[in-house]
Structures are given as structure tokens and as C-alpha cells.
Amino acid sequence: MSVFTASLEGKNGIVTGGTSGYGFEIVRKLAEAGANTAVYSVDELARDRHRELDRTRRADVLFETKDIMEDGASERMVQQTVEAFGGLDFVVSNAGFAIRFETDLLELPLDEFVQGLRTQFEVFPIAFASLALCAAREMEKKYAAVEYDSTGHRPDSGAIVVNLSEAVLNNLRDDLIAYAAAKKATQWIMESLAGSLGPRNIRVNAIAPGFANTERPRLFYDRHPEIRADIERRTHLKPAFMHSGSVVPAVLYLLSDNYVTGQTIALDGGYSNNMVRYFQEALTS
């Protein structure tokens, strides 16, 4: 087996927020790749998605309603996954939500602003860091002992991937002060964990998707067409609002490449590449 093409067949993992959007697409592909997956989300999986998953999956997929911000949630998720599958090889931390301040900050009640910050930091980075550490303590039992092969590399490793969103790479937005701050803090923690867990043969990476063409974002941008227009103008690749499945190849890569850690992959169609086109005609279709 190549160092850079480790199989997910028979591996066991956790995906949070896996019943819709990016999370469901990731779960679906992991199941097709033969990975047993425990999915934890505050929302239940719709029946039509259950049927879709059953048609294509090649491994076990378990769903449980879980609030990742509950006390002890990380420990219970890891314990339940190990009890169900016999071990833990990877985590995809995808659950979360954005708190927006859609008003003049000087008119916003201070307690509302502070509570928004606290809640946003609870869902990330605190929930992510807790789950990552609980998972790493289980992964270390298997992966710290993996020996080097003839190339001088370890042929397999534990893997943790967190969804950071475009907020860690792009210009600041006044409505996303709490959200962007929490995501940027999560990126620092991801990089710190990558350094701490690397000697234990556990890799930690991130994806930073752009703007999703899913229900909740559509509702927001339908209310604010001027923001939608700005995003469409600044995103070099089209469509500016991406299908949820667009993140899957990067996630599969980060779960299977055994020599990348501490990295954030931008999946935003070039939105964070802040080039202003004055003389090049923008092609739209």
C-alpha cells in the first residue's frame, strides 16, 4: 500500500453534524468507501436520506441525536463509537452554527453580544478541542505503535479533520464577529493539536469551505441580496455558492494521506484570493 493512499475500508470514525449539508455528503461518501461511521447531530436524518444511504453504503452507519455542547458529550461520543465498532480511527468535526449580529454593534445590548460570543466559542473551539482530545486518547492506543515501513514512513495514522469555513481566510464581516473569532481560534487549536499529536501518529487538519448552496445560507442571502451579489462578484470560480458535496474529495484526502498535518485547505472558489478585476471581463453563465 502506498504511503499516500491509505484505504478507509473497515475503519471506524465519528462525524458530527452529519445529517445535512456538508456533513451528510461526507457521511455518504465514507459509507461508500467502507468506513463504519457514528453520526452525532442535534437533527434527525430525513427518511429520504436514510433510503439514499442504504442504497449505496458498504459499511455500518449509526445515527444518534447529540448536542456537542452538553457536558460529557465528547466522552460519550467516543465511548459509544468504540463500543459499537471496536475502535476509533478518525473524526470529522463538522457540527456548528453561526451567530450573526445583524444590527449596529453600538445599539446591540451588551449581554446579547457577550452571550453570543460565549455560545459561539462553546460550539467551536471548545467542543472541537474536547472531542479531538478524547478521540486522540483512544486513537493513540492503536496508532502510536504503528511501525515504519521500507520507505521510512508509517503506513497508517489516526486522523482528525475540522470544518473551519471561509471565515478563517477572508476579510472580516461585521455580522460574523463572534463566528469568525471562534473559527480562527479553532484554527489555532487545530494547528497546536497537530504539533502535539503528531509524535503519537495522529494528524489534525482542516477544510475551509466557501458559501454553501443549502437552506439556511439561502434564507440569509435571500434577505440580503446585496451581500449575495458581492460574494458572487468576488468568487472567481462559479458557482459562487457551492454544492455540499464539493468538500468531500478534500476530506477523503485528509483522512487518507499519512504525511499532511496542521494544514487548512481552502475550498472557496478563490473567494479568499482578493484580486480586483478592473480590465478583465468577468464571464458569467
* pLDDT digit string, tens, across residues 186-236: 999 999 999 999 999 999 999 999 999 988 888 999 999 999 999 999 999
CA–CA separation, 285 and 264 (whole Å): 30
Global confidence as pTM: 0.94
Note the pLDDT tens digit of each residue in 244-259.
999 999 999 999 988 9
Residue 281 has pLDDT above 70, yes or no: no
- Other CB atoms within 10 Å distance of the CB of residue 279: 4
pLDDT digits (tens, 9 = 90+) for 32-78: 999 999 999 999 998 888 898 889 899 999 999 999 999 999 999 99
Which cell numbers hold the place of 62? 449509526
d(CA 7, CA 156): 9
